[in-house]
A = this chain, B = another copy of it.
């Protein structure tokens, strides 16, 4: 047997080279426009009672599919004795199946390209978005819906002949999902791959520029990209030593040699401490037992009008094929803010992460963006920490409104922001820590450390590491 002495260096270099590869986006835009002209999906809000194939359980009120597959909507009771709000109940989506979010990659002229899909989802505010090669629940790929086979799925189900770059299970929205996880995969193939209608090979450099467009790169693509072993060595060597730009501080932060304010062992011990210290008790309850939620015309809403509504939609997909179905969805009441405060410390960009307790977390808390909230929910409550610092800053490095997953969430949008500050004593807080990008990337090789909002935003931060050629 041969012994392995180090792994990952070559992949990291290839990823960096793909970031630096910058063909124009002309071809992309004409392809995407043509796809948009043949892909339609109309989602009409209907009463929950008009759902077809879904039923509310007589005893619990829980809503589930007649096959017992896909997902169910149940209730959850949350008790966080030390939280700003100590106890509440709410509807929550229970989807125990672990699906696959996968991107296929292949070298063309030595440069890694990512096979992306133009995909419509019922909840998307603007129809078509750029998606991973595959996004499939187990019900999807075991054909519960009796639909056609998921293209390219076999590359992710049988990886023996390929090179697996990333394969890690990560959580999704802990406010709306109960312990939901998906498998985030990136698989490199050497063989020829037929490009089906609706798919296109793009470099990381191209995808990074598309992240600057509102509602274009979807959540599933962002979370998979964030899990890449994104080390910046190759990017660092492209920098002049005297370069003191924001980008150079970011690139240094991505490198495995980046000096950090806190050692990685110290970060791990801090996470242990937060998870041990927090008292969080969650229990699933019947949906009919959620308190302070009311049903108006077949939509379930909080009495305050805040947070989100549980709605039903009737979906009609038109284009090359016609499909029609109904399903429950979550519709947030307002647009959220998802923001990192970042600071240059010793020439290395640091990100202020928040160890955030959420009811759907597998393990108490995960690392979240500095700010993650819907400001309207706080109209008469204490403002979330650092929200005003984000909104009033003049040092905004990234500000793009992006959609959350359109298969479960109806027009759920967040303003993703990266704001630079001077690190100061006001940022010292037991639930917050300055970390380098490389430290976050290391944690992303494991499950359940970094939440989906932070992963999305990390993909956006990565996008600022490239040369920034415009299309």
Contacts and interface: CB of A to CB of B under 8 A. Distances in A.
B168 A261 contact: no
B98 A263 contact: no
A169 B3 contact: no
A447 interface: yes
Interface stretch (A4-12, A16-24, A60-68): A4-12
A446 interface: yes
Contact of A169 (B183, B275, B446): B275
A7 B270 CA distance: 15
A200 B183 CA distance: 48
A269 interface: yes
A423 interface: yes
A1 B6 CA distance: 31
Interface in A332-368: 345-346, 348, 362-363
A168 to B, nearest CB: 6
Interface in A416-440: 423, 434
B363 A259 contact: no
A445 interface: yes
A264 interface: yes
A27 to B, nearest CB: 33
Contact of A268 (B1, B3, B260, B445): B445
A183 B269 CA distance: 11
Contacts of A362: 362-363
Contacts of A445: 265, 268
Interface in A152-192: 164, 167-169, 183
Contacts of A376: none
A393 interface: no
Interface residues of A, number: 40
A266 interface: yes
B183 A276 contact: yes
Contacts of A49: none
A272 interface: yes
Interface string A241-274: 0000000000000000101111111101100110
Nearest to A449: B446
A384 B309 CA distance: 52
Contact of A345 (B3, B169, B265, B446): B3
A140 to B, nearest CB: 15
A445 B7 CA distance: 19
A268 B276 CA distance: 25
Nearest to A346: B3
Given A164-B269, A167-B269, A363-B362, A423 B1 contact: yes
Contact of A446 (B183, B268, B434): B268
A64 to B, nearest CB: 16
23 contacts: A1-B261, A2-B261, A3-B346, A4-B259, A4-B263, A5-B257, A5-B259, A7-B264, A7-B266, A8-B263, A98-B276, A167-B268, A167-B269, A167-B273, A168-B269, A169-B275, A169-B276, A229-B265, A268-B446, A272-B447, A362-B362, A363-B447, A446-B446
